[in-house]
Amino acid sequence: MRSWLLIGLACTFVAGCDFTKTYFPVKKEPVRQVEELQTSVTVIPLTAQNIGNYSAKRQLAGGTTNVPGGNSWNYRVGAGDILDVVVWDHPELTMPSGENRTPEQSGLRVQADGTFFYPFVGQIPAKGLTPEAIRENLKLKLADYIPDPQVEVRVVGYNSQSVSITGEVNTPNRQPLTATQVTLLQAVDAAGGLTEDADPSGVTLRRGGALYNVDLQAFLERGLASNNPTLQSGDVVNVPRITLKEAYLLGQIVKGTTIDLTRENISLTQALTRVGGLKEDQADARGIFVFRDTDAGITVYQLDASNPTAFLLGTRFTLHPQDVIYVTTAPLYRWNRLITSLLPSITTVKAADDL
């Protein structure tokens, strides 16, 4: 009777606890389906022969960005700009400036209609024109009054055109555009540079009602010139906050945690080392699994590290965001845990039998 009672207690306990034998796909086929799992789950044992297929580093910076408008820049005058006009040898036509009057204060403002007034010739078109084009127009007009006039036109007050820099920069601001071209990186630097939480790979640029994604990180890391476009009037640049890209470590490791993959490539061995490695008395080194969700279903990579040299293979396996690394429990430990849980019941049954 005692034997039957012990068997009954053991069966009841095993049925009520999570004690399923661990089966490892230890055969070294390159890719195989596991019958116990759904057909959408593929297990790939990592070997010296196939590890090269999984060693490619993630490209942290994206590809080429193409923003319409090119990288050329030629300032065109707009309403609100201040012009300084000089007619050589004719000081009466030159607006005087002195110690208390800067060229901007004594200059000619382009009005809302895009013109400015000049003596003798009246209203001169300026909006949308370069200073050189304005000079040629003014020269033709003055030729009726002055033989071969020598005219210089320059912008001394840049008020009509600007760009805005927002998001994860230290000093978001509005920056006027001048005769010198301003690139995306220069504008970001003029806004105090990126914050620690900035994601330069996800910069957006709004231009003319369209939104463009600009990977500034690719310019910084790989020198892709098109990813550092010249800004144009009205551009709005936004630097987003970075989104963490993590892998998760679970199971019989010293410290279950997440690994940040946002800014660097990390191998499987690196990740395990950073969390203190496997629990020596509890982990089964044959059962280091990496679960990865792919378009074709769940792929499970198995590293059999019962031989320590297998961790060299792990140094070549690059983790991806959302990977789940799981280390299984050593079968001996699970058996000891079961026996320890059964001991109180066994002791109780023995005492009852003695009575």
What pLDDT does residue 92 have? 64
pLDDT in tens, 116-127: 998 888 999 999
Check whether residue 251 and residue 221 sit in a common domain.
no
| 105 domain residue, yes or no | yes
Secondary structure percentages of the chain, helix, strand, coil, to 5: 25, 30, 45
Domain boundary at 157, 191, 212, which? 157
Check whether residue 235 and residue 255 sit in a common domain.
no
CATH number of the structural domain spanning residue 275: 3.10.560.10
Give the H or E element holding residue 319. none
| 261 domain residue, yes or no | yes
Angular region, 120: left φ>0, alpha ψ -120 to 50, beta rest: left
Look at 62-71, 150-159, 169-178, 239-248 and tell me which has the smallest mean pLDDT.
62-71
Residue 92: count of CB within 10 angstroms of its CB: 7
| 224 domain residue, yes or no | yes
Check whether residue 268 and residue 328 sit in a common domain.
yes
pLDDT at 275 > cutoff 50: yes
Question: What string of H, E and C letters represents the secondary structure of 57-124?
Answer: CCCCCCCCCCCCCCCCCCCCCCCCCEEEEEECCCHHHCCCCECCECHHHHCEECCCCCEEEECCCEEE
Check whether residue 255 and residue 233 sit in a common domain.
no
pLDDT in tens, 4-62: 433 343 334 333 334 334 444 444 444 444 444 444 678 889 988 999 888 888 777 66
| 173 domain residue, yes or no | yes
The pLDDT-based confidence of 351 (bands split at 50, 70, 90) is low
Domain boundary at 219, 239, 259, which? 239
Radius of gyration of the chain (CA): 36
Q: Are strands 108-109 and 82-87 parallel, antiparallel or unpaired?
A: antiparallel
Closest to 248 (Cα-Cα) out of 225, 276, 268:
268
Check whether residue 231 and residue 280 sit in a common domain.
no
Check whether residue 150 and residue 166 sit in a common domain.
no
Per the model's pLDDT, the better-predicted residue between 170 and 91 turns out to be 170
Range of the domain at 89: 82-157
Q: How many domains does the chain have?
A: 3
Check whether residue 250 and residue 330 sit in a common domain.
yes
| 294 domain residue, yes or no | yes
Instruction: Output the pTM of the full model.
Output: 0.65
Check whether residue 123 and residue 195 sit in a common domain.
no
Check whether residue 97 and residue 168 sit in a common domain.
no
| Identity of the residue numbered 72 | S
What three-state secondary structure class fits 117? strand
Domain boundary at 157, 179, 195, which? 157
pLDDT in tens, 72-90: 889 999 999 999 998 888 7
Check whether residue 216 and residue 267 sit in a common domain.
no
| 11 domain residue, yes or no | no
| 100 domain residue, yes or no | yes
Closest to 187 (Cα-Cα) out of 233, 224, 241:
233
| 349 domain residue, yes or no | no
Q: How far is CA 49 from CA 53, 95, 315, in A?
A: 9, 82, 15
Check whether residue 219 and residue 252 sit in a common domain.
no
Percentage of residues in the chain with pLDDT exceeding 90? 37
Check whether residue 255 and residue 198 sit in a common domain.
no
CATH number of the structural domain spanning residue 121: 3.30.1950.10
